[in-house]
Amino acid sequence: MRIRFKKWARPELEASSFYENEPENWKGRWKEHYKNPKNPFMLELGCGKGQFISKLALENPNINYLAIDLVDAMLGLAKRNIEQTYKEEKKEPENVLLTRFDIERILLIMDKNDKVDRIYINFCNPWPKGKHRKKRLTHTRQLEKYKEFLKKDGEIYFKTDDDGLFESSLIYFEESGFKIIKKTYDLHKEPIFEKNIETEHEKMFTEQGIKIKALIAKI
């Protein structure tokens, strides 16, 4: 999703207590970055404006979250959304971090010592053209990278509106040795998550009558 440049985003992020500007320095020891390092550790890849991660982190204070995106403007909006969500509940965002990084190169900032329990991938770019498909966050090439830092029995929660991406992803997960333990072609009629937190895209697509596809995969 394209978004206009926001000149305030970078200064606000760098001044934020829950933004990490140098993620490479935390490779293998992300848990040390949190107030409660013994908590489970989960990622959102491609967090966008942060509606999802702000609600998820607030509702699960005993889990540490890292949300990653590549665009300053997106991260700036995510930072503001997190602040507002926590402020409404009179709480501090001590269990969530934001960072800017290219997810295709994620092994530069994560390794097996990070012991990630779960990865969330919500409405990522479907990259429909054949030459671009390796850029998909669920492509086999990417899934092999995630296996380097997912714990044994670690999970991936994936949602999309795109039929082609979903069908291809089912193949990608199988090729990478993941077991798909739940899947649905209509998430709102056939829930597979304990609780589904809607993203901005999800609400938009649902209002347009587009069914949301989803799966849970385990390594």
Per the document, the length of the chain is 219
What's the count of helices (H) and strands (E) in the chain, helices before strands?
6, 8
Query: Which domains does the chain carry?
Result: 1-114 (3.40.50.150), 116-219 (3.40.50.150)
Burial of 176 (0-12, 13-18, 19+ CB in 10 A): buried
Q: Is the pLDDT of residue 218 over 70?
A: yes
Q: Is 65 helix (H, G, I), strand (E, B) or coil?
A: strand
Give the global pTM. Answer: 0.95
What is the side-by-side order of every strand in the sheet holding 116-122?
19-20, 96-100, 64-69, 41-45, 116-122, 150-160, 213-218, 179-184
Express each pLDDT in 115-164 by its tens digit: 999 999 999 999 998 888 999 999 999 999 999 999 999 999 999 999 99
